[in-house]
Structure 1
Amino acid sequence: MTDMFHAASGSGGGSWLSALADWLVTLMETIGPIGAAIAVGLESLFPPIPSEAVLPVAGLAASRGSFTLAEAIGWTTFGSVAGAYLLYGLGRVLGADRLTRVAEKMPLMKGEDVTKTVAWFDRHGSAAVFFGRMVPLFRSLISIPAGVSKMHWWKFGLLTAAGSLIWNSIFVLAGFFLGENWHIVEQYAGVFQNIVIVIVVLLVAWFLFVRIRAVVRDRRSGPA
């Protein structure tokens, strides 16, 4: 069984992806579906770990009989919720007031940025948490503003579980049915992630442009 798993993970092509798959397979073989939950929980805390690689491997493990498909989906969803709650708790601890004071001391930032973000989240937070669980990068980060805005913990948990269940099921099922070709999922999902990264970079660049232009304009008008 172990040799079959490592052969499948080795088909991932990229050395880093193969190493990650080998580690995940070992973890899941050692402690079962709880290993899948731990892997997904780490992915929630550290966005550089791609869920597009973690979840299909859990499906692969289920297809090989290490645990059932239902266990793979259930435990990965549990791991997603657990990791999200840790970041949610971080947001609650930081709080809007503390983040506002930090923003006031940062270049090109204003305290009202935090205030506006919290106000936006109060209006659209439910949709942001639910759909955010299906968007790379935002899957993890969306938990922090949920904590800052003090969204009810049970509401946050239900929305996170619902969004994670959909996202996780898609990739776990893909890994389950693709078997040794699970890495194909990561290749196609990587395109979507790259699109999201480009959009984020463009938004950050626009934000910096607007703020720098405002600072230059204020400095020029100051002496007058």
Structure 2
Amino acid sequence: MDSMSAWILAIMDRLGLAGVTLMMFLENVFPPIPSELIMPMAGFWSAMGNMNIIAVIIAGTAGSVLGALPLYYLGTVFDEKRLYALTEKYGKYLLIKPSDITNATHWFNKHGKAVVFFGRMIPAIRSLISIPAGMNHMPMLPFLVLTTLGSAIWTTLLAYAGYVLGANYEQVAEFIAPISKGVAVVVGLVLVVVAFLRIRSVFFDKK
């Protein structure tokens, strides 16, 4: 077990469900902390009888939603140029590159509000997508609803995988990566279909 795994385990051992919420909050604010380790570990603990799996999923989802809020408000205060400059200067301490901010902004500008939901299941987009949502002053209620739904699906998937894999929960990341890529592909296909239908609608309206 590496040092990060040991640290996460110690926090959850000490705080229980509150520790799951805290870890998922920090995972959103500090992306280097992986949800692919936190939730499967909590799922494993559920399988051992130390936690209730439903409570674990609720605690993890709550932490994800709470963790999305600081980044959302950060986006409302700073524009992309200023965030890029801050990330260039201090991002190395959080393992965040300026390009991560640019990519998240590009995803939001290209795909709109839907990416707040789907983005919760895509690596490197999951945490940072809250920033462009704030920059674009996305209404809080839709932001919270989409964030909650996307986070709930993601935490359920990870927790259940840990529950099933048991002591091999650290292998979850290997199984989750293809799923995340699959989500990204599906989102792309859906958006292509929507764009096609809109173009066709405009074409027939002109007729």
TM-score (norm 2): 0.70
The structure having more radius of gyration, on CA atoms, is 1
State the AA in 1 paired with 2:38: V
Q: CA deviation at 1:65?
A: 2.2
1:20 deviates by 2.0
Q: 1:60 aligns with which of 25, 30, 44?
A: 44
Q: 164, 167, 171: which one pairs with 1:177?
A: 164
Q: Is 1:49 aligned to residue 49 of structure 2?
A: no
1:203-218 equivalent positions in 2, closer than 5 A: none
SS at match of 2:121: coil
Which amino acid in the other structure matches residue 164 of structure 2?
F
Q: Show the counterpart of 1:159.
A: 146
Same amino acid, percent of matched pairs: 40
Q: Quick check: 1:187 aligned with 2:171?
A: no
1:54-203 mapped onto 2 (5 Å cutoff): 54-95=38-79, 99=80, 121=108, 124-190=111-177
Q: CA deviation at 1:122?
A: 6.5
Q: CA deviation at 1:186?
A: 2.0
Query: Which sections of structure 1, spanning at least 5 residues, go unmatched?
Result: 1-9, 11-15, 104-113, 197-224
Distance 1:65 1:92, change over 3 A: same
C-alpha separation in 1, matches of 2:81 and 2:4: 38
Deviation at 1:172, TM superposition (A): 0.3
Provide structure 2 residue ranges, at least 5 long, that are not aligned to the other structure: 85-101, 183-207
Instruction: Give the letter aligned to residue 57 of structure 1.
Output: M
Does the CA contact (< 8 Å) of 1:92 and 1:148 recur in 2?
yes
CA distance in structure 1 between the partners assigned to 2:4 and 2:153 by the alignment: 23
Counterpart Cα distance in 2 of 1:140 and 1:75: 17
One-letter amino acid of the counterpart of residue 163, structure 2: F
- For normalisation by structure 1, the TM-score amounts to 0.65
Shift of 1:31: 1.2
Kindly state the Cα deviation for residue 33 of structure 1 after the two structures are TM-superposed. 0.6
Q: Which digits, 9 at most, give the CA deviation of each residue in 1:104-161, with x for residues without a partner?
A: xxxxxxxxxx9xx68x846732211011000011001100000000001111011001
- How far did residue 26 of structure 1 move? 1.6
Q: Which amino acid aligns with 2:7?
A: W
How far did residue 189 of structure 1 move?
A: 3.2
CA distance in 2, matches of 1:161, 1:101: 28
What is the distance in 2 between the residues matched to 1:162 and 1:21?
A: 27
How many residue pairs align between the two structures?
164
Q: How does 1:12-31 map to 2 (within 5 A)?
A: 16=2, 19-31=3-15
After alignment, is 159-168 or 49-58 more displaced? 49-58
